[in-house]
């Protein structure tokens, strides 16, 4: 028998300022296995763009202290992600700056 595939969500990310320079992009779509959270997304970003994670989650520092990850989610006001365990939902639009 085939084992079930993990559920997948798709988030859209935008990069502003130095983050756009770091990635060489201004936007992209990313697929994540569920359950997904900001910490999981940062792991994926670190794989794609080495050095990405420490910008938002410095070792021995405070998560997202001098940067911002803004989430736009359908039916809700935009909000800043201040906890790496913040769950992500299918269709979220995240802006990194």
| Section 9-25 average pLDDT | 97
This prediction has a pTM of 0.87
Strands 27-33 and 8-15 turn out to be antiparallel
CA angle 50-33-67, nearest 5°?
Answer: 40
pLDDT at residue 6, rounded to an integer: 66
Alpha carbon 30 to chain centroid distance?
A: 9
Token pair, residue 65, equals: 């202290």
**Cα gap 50→88, rounded to integer Å:** 22
Confidence label for 13 from pLDDT (cuts 50, 70 and 90)? very high
Is the pLDDT score of 81 beyond 80?
yes
> pLDDT digit string (tens) for 24-78?
999 999 999 999 999 999 999 999 999 999 999 998 888 878 899 999 999 999 9
Is the pLDDT score of 3 beyond 80?
no
- Would you call 79 helix, strand, or coil by DSSP? strand
**Cα gap 53→55, rounded to integer Å:** 5
């Amino acid at each position: 028998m085939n084992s079930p595939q993990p559920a997948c969500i798709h988030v859209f990310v935008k990069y502003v300022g130095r983050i756009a320079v770091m990635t060489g992009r201004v936007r992209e779509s990313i697929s994540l296995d569920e359950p997904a959270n900001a910490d999981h997304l940062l792991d994926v970003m670190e794989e794609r763009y080495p050095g990405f994670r420490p910008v938002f989650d410095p070792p021995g520092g405070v998560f997202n202290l001098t940067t911002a990850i803004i989430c736009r989610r359908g039916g809700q006001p935009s909000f800043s992600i201040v906890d790496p365990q913040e769950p992500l939902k299918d269709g979220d639009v995240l802006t990194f700056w």
